[in-house]
Each structure stands twice: as structure tokens, then as C-alpha cells.
Structure 1
Amino acid sequence: MPLPTSASTSPELKHKLAETTESSAGSSEPVESRLSAEVKFFLADKNYGFLLNPAGGKDILIHRNGVIDGTVPQKGAVYWFDLGEDRQQRPCAVNASLKVGATDAPIPALDHDTKELFDWAFIPLFSRDTTSKAISDLASLALTEDWRYRESPAEEFDDFGILRNYIKFTFTRLRHEGKVITGDRFATFNTGLVDRFYEPIYALFEKNGRATPPWKWRSFCVSGQGEEGKLLARTFEPLPKAASYFANIDDLYFDAEAPFDEDLDHIVLDGIRRDRYPHDFLDTYAGGFSLQEYLANRESYLAGIADRLNQNDAMYRRLRNRLKDAILLARKRVSWNYRAVVPQYYPKHNLMSFLLPISLSDDTKVDAALVVQSIRVDGKLRYQGYTIYPLAYAYRNARLVAKPISDWLDPERILGT
């Protein structure tokens, strides 16, 4: 069955018929005559998927807009639904709600560019000055870390870029897990960070006098310590828990003996276009590199390198072989030392994956990270290498889960002292 085009992935869903019965409390509950079907697949980043037709006909489109209970359909889950149609008059599910969950509970997909924290509360994470009040307070309170961030060699350091990223996405994850606690006057969440005595740090908010956003940042504090910490302890019991990321053992444990695949064409060409390779590596293996042309028009220049490489079979083969050798060396390193694998969280697709150390220019120096996703095929574990990250980008995503304990993914090694 053809998938919806990009123009039809946000349909206006029309309801045909919904049979519900009102309970004494006034809530609507599904009755036996209401349809239910299993999710065949659902693309969370595209917001649509298909249900297996219970009548045996064509699969039924299910869109995020047609789900009313806030869950995100996952393969194998069963949903109640009413039959409707989209604006192209194709059958689709409307008023859908979860009947039976999949093996893993549905988790809402996260927007990579989420502004959810800022829509919920006023919090001064950014400032025209050297730093902001909220960030400077949190950095001073938390166990000392290097929070600097520079995504590419052409960019200046942001001394607290990783910390801003961390708070923004941690809030989004917590909210979807139901761990942001609100009261009549105050609200709080667990930042997942600790102070120098390893006591958890909480973000404390108070009602905003303005209509939007509903809350405003008050402080970062440790429960029971200082006036703010005492206020937190008096107001919230129990205190909220930190975000959790590991849904099953496959998210945490990397099996070096499992089958391994990699999409080399995507890893090479897409990685070059997205500026994810060391420039000295491109200079050696991709026909040269001009810093002047790169700074003049980065996007166009990198696309030109990728196109040039794709049209030169001998040069492309040489680079692919070097990358394959680097991936093989990384797998051997992981087999020897399990700590060489670093788990990371990818907010855009709400997925856990792994980072493997890649040595491109010199076997003794790690200069990139390979993103590897675990999958199950007929119950058997295997891995797929998807893309390559520069080390700074890899560290930013890995830090959402925990501070990496690694001999290769370390800010001091990546950015210099």
C-alpha cells in the first residue's frame, strides 16, 4: 500500500461513526461494537502508520492527530478506533485509544528542536552577557563538569552549551514520563544532576503572574539545604525522580558478538554533507580540503566534496575501505573493553543507541563516533551502523543519559584544556 505523501501526513481527519457509552461518571468508554486493530507499524518521526485491517482488507491509516489518549502507537499494540477518512477520502482511524500495549510501553516521540521547557516556564538559560542567572547558578551548584560545546571547528566555544542542551531535553523527557510535579503555587523537577556531595539537584518554579508561560524559574536547590531547599522539602513529598532512559537490556548492553551491518554510502556521503568528518581526513581521502572555500560557503562546499567523491570510484573505494577498517577496529576494541561503548539518547527519534570509537586518520587516535542501533529480527539481536558524529556532538547526546566514563569520549580530550 502506498504511503501518504509529505502533503498528506497531517490530514484533517473526518469522523464517520463512533459508538460509545456514557458511564455514571460521564466518561466515554468503548463498547464491543467499536473497532480495534493491531498496529502494523508507526513512524513516530513522521506521525503516521497503519493498522492491520480487522476485516482483512487494505491497511488502515492511523495518524498522530487521530489518537486521543496521548500515546504513540507502536508495532504490536492494539488500538480502539472509529472509522473515519482523511481529506483524500481514504479510510483512517479516528478517536483512537490504546487497548493493549505492545511489549514495550509506548513512549511519546520527542521533538529535536523542542521549546517545551520555554513554553512551560520562563527560565533565563540564555543571556547577552557572559552567562545567565539560571545557568551560572546550576553550574556553580552541580558537581564540577566541563560544559563547553563547539559543534564544528569553525564555531566559537559556548562555555555552557552542553548544560543548556541537557536541561532542555531532560525537561522534555521528564514531562513525557510524568515526572514534572506541579502544585497550586510551586512546581519542580529532578535535574538528574548532583552537587559535590552527590545530593540530587531540583529545579524549583513558582506561578507566573502573566498568562503565559504558566510558571517561572525560582531556583536550583538541594532538598532541605538553604531557604530554597527548605521550601522545596516543605512543599513536595515525595520529591520527583530523575529521568530514566533504559527500557530494556538492549539499550544498556552491547553484544560484540552479534551480527553487525552498516550503511556505508549513507555514513560517508551524508556525513560529509553534514560536516561530521575531520577536515584532515577529508583532505587525505576525499581529494583535498580548502579551509577558505569551506568558510566562504560551508554547505555548498561540503556537498561538492560528497558529489566529487561519489563520481570517482577509485577515490570513493579508498575512503570506504578506510572507514570499514576503522569500524572493524572499533568492534575489536569494544570486544576487548565493554566500556569503550557509550550509550546515547537521540531526542529527535526518542531512541537509545550506542556510540563506538572511530579512528579515521590514525589508528591510535579516536576522532569520530559511529552511531549504532540495536534491532531484533525474529527475536535475534543484531546491530545497524547508521551515521557518524564528530566527538563534540556525540558527547552532547551521551551526556543526556549520564556523564560518560570513557577513555575516548571526554571533553578535555575533545576540546582541549
Structure 2
Amino acid sequence: MNLLRGLHDVSRIAYAVFFFYKYEKHLQNLSEFAEKEDWDYKFADSEFDLPVLYNYIRYTYKKLSDEGKIAVSLDGEFACFDTGLVTKNQEPIYAFFSKNKNPDKEPWYFAQWARKGDYVLNKFSVLPEMAHYFEDPNDLVFDTRLEIRENVEHIIEENKERFPEPFKSMDLYLLQTIFKGALDNAKMRVKRSYKIAIPQYYRGRMQLLLPICLSNPNKADIALTIEKMDGFYRASTILTLDMAYNNARQIARPDKDWLQP
């Protein structure tokens, strides 16, 4: 088995993955083949069907290519990668490609989704590993000993369009007041239960997501991202719940009650 590490080859496989013929049909097949999961947005429209799954496969591939985990068969005729998803029987699912015989097209084309025991994967002496997102498991857990620092004015001014209505249309000062109250509640909540913080992977770093409840203390309206610095957490931005779920799902399906699709 060979692993493609060159950016040129990797980028061409990426094109084949994400612009293959009838990609909506293949994503639908994957959603039915894999363990049952909701892959749709709940709060926004998307130009893609199954947008969470589309982004999951796209960014999983990018991470795998960065890690050199795209496998090529010894004869150079086939390629595959581990999607990180499993079937209903908990068997890993791989994306399987064949070499394109047309020299004017991309060198690889998508052939099928294959479970680990599928005959087609016998073409690889060793199957590639899953994407790896963290070195220290402590990065996945909120450290209740550390404070959270934030610049509320900057966060809101830069991301006001991500607030749901009626908050998006509010006077900036009023919104800042409401947001500060919701942020204080989120800080107290995560101090009482560190499990409230959900990990996400963004631009090569682990971050945590906190629920911001603007109108109902039991229902999140947006998510706040915090990033561990040297001795404290820095609040960096806010995300819509669809955006937050997209980012969190890259690592694992969130099982928390406040961030569900």
C-alpha cells in the first residue's frame, strides 16, 4: 500500500471526491448505509442536500490528506480512505476509488462506499487509519479552574448576522446587555458541569463550544467558541447552531442535549 502525500496528487483526488458525478445520490446512499444520523441543517437553508454530511466528508478528506492517510493499492489502480463513519453493525466505512482511464479527466473517480469486510478492500494490504484530531485528551474537556475572558463588543460587532431574530435586529447596546447576561449564565453552567462544553476542531486547533441562551435558559440560541490559552480561555467568536454542529460533528457526534441537529 502507498500513501499519497504530494499536494498535487492529493488535490486531484479531492476534486474527484467532491465533484464526482451525481454526488447527491452518493451522499444519500452513504446516509442510508451508515449508522442512522440526522445530517440536515435545522436553522438555515443550504445549497447542498445533507449539508452536515457533505461538510463532514469534505473536511474529513482534507484532514486525512494532510496526515497522509489516503491509501493507494500496490498496482496503483485503486485508492481509499476511512470516512470515520460506521454501518448499523458498527463496521467502519471507507470511500473507494478507481483509477480513471480517461487521461483528460481527474486521475481518480469515486466507485463506492465499502464496509471494512467488503471484497474490494482486499486490494489494500493495510487499510488507512481514521483522521486524528487531538494529542491531549484534556483538550476535549473544560478546565473549571480557568477563567473565560471575552471582548463582548468585538464579538457582537463582528458576528451580529449570526444571531437569530429578534436579536439580530436589536440595538447594539441592548444586544450587548442581553448577551453579557447569557454569557454569565453559560459560565456558571459550565462551572457546575464541565460536560456542557462540546469540543470542535477548527483550523488545526481544538476549541470548545458553550451554549448561549438568549431567550430561554433551557434552549441555546447560538454557540460561543472558547480556546485555551496560557492559563485561561479566550472567547473568540459565536456560531449559529448549524455551524457549531458542523464543526463538532467533525470529531464525533455530539450527545449533549443542547447541540442537536
Q: Same fold (TM over 0.5)?
A: yes
RCO higher in structure (CA 8 A, sep ≥6): 2
What secondary structure does 2:232 align onto?
strand
> Does the aligned pair in 2 maintain the 1:116–1:172 contact within 8 Å?
no
1:327 to 179, 183, 197: 183
- Residue by residue, what CA displacement relative to the aligned partner does 1:376-403 show, whole Å, maximum 9, x if unpaired? 2xxxx31000111111111011111110
In terms of Rg, which structure is larger?
Answer: 1
Which stretch of the first structure deviates more once superposed, 365-374 or 204-213?
204-213
After TM superposition, give the deviation of residue 282 of structure 1 in Å.
3.3
* Contact 1:123 1:216 (8 Å CA) reproduced: no
Residue 178 of structure 2 aligns with an amino acid whose one-letter code is R
The RMSD of aligned alpha carbons is 2.3
Which of 202, 205, 214 is residue 97 of structure 2 equivalent to? 205
Q: Is the 8 A contact 1:369 1:391 kept in 2?
A: yes
- Name the structure 2 match of 1:169: 59
Does the 8 Å CA contact 2:85/2:93 hold for their aligned counterparts? yes
State which of 34, 42, 48 in structure 2 corresponds to 1:142: 34
Q: Is the CA contact 2:20–2:110 (under 8 Å) kept in the aligned structure 1?
A: no
User: Displacement of 1:320 after TM fit?
Assistant: 2.1
The answer for unaligned runs of 5 or more in structure 1 is: 1-69, 71-107, 109-114, 288-308, 310-315, 412-417
Offset from partner CA, 1:60-104 (integer Å, 9 cap, x none): xxxxxxxxxx9xxxxxxxxxxxxxxxxxxxxxxxxxxxxxxxxxx
**Alignment-mate amino acid for residue 235 of structure 1:** K
The code of the aligned residue for 1:341 comes to: A
Summarize the Cα distance change of 1:126–1:161 in structure 2 as closer, same or farther, 3 Å threshold.
farther
Residue number in structure 1 paired with 2:111: 218
Aligned-pair distance for 1:119? 4.2
Percentage identity across paired residues of the two chains: 37
1:361 maps to 215
For 1:9-408, what aligned pairs fall within 5 Å after superposition?
116=11, 119-122=14-17, 127=22, 132-149=24-41, 152=44, 155=45, 158-183=48-73, 184-211=76-103, 212-224=105-117, 229-232=118-121, 234-272=122-160, 275-283=161-169, 286-287=170-171, 309=172, 316=173, 318-346=174-202, 349-376=203-230, 381-408=231-258
Cα distance in 1, alignment partners of residues 63 and 106 from structure 2: 19
Please state whether the residue corresponding to 2:158 is helix, strand or coil. Answer: helix
Q: CA deviation at 1:333?
A: 1.4
Contact 1:182 1:188 in 2 (8 A): yes
> Would the alpha carbon gap of residues 245 and 117 (structure 1) be closer, same or farther in structure 2, given more than 3 Å must change?
farther
Provide the C-alpha distance between the structure 2 equivalents of 1:250 and 1:215, rounded to a whole number of angstroms.
39
* Structure with greater helix share of residues: 2
What is the TM-score of this pair, normalised by structure 1? 0.56
- Is the Cα contact below 8 Å between 2:12 and 2:106 reproduced in 1? no
- Give the Cα–Cα distance (whole angstroms) in 2 for the partners of residues 138 and 405 of structure 1: 21
Q: Does structure 1 conserve the Cα–Cα contact (< 8 Å) formed by 2:20 and 2:109?
A: no
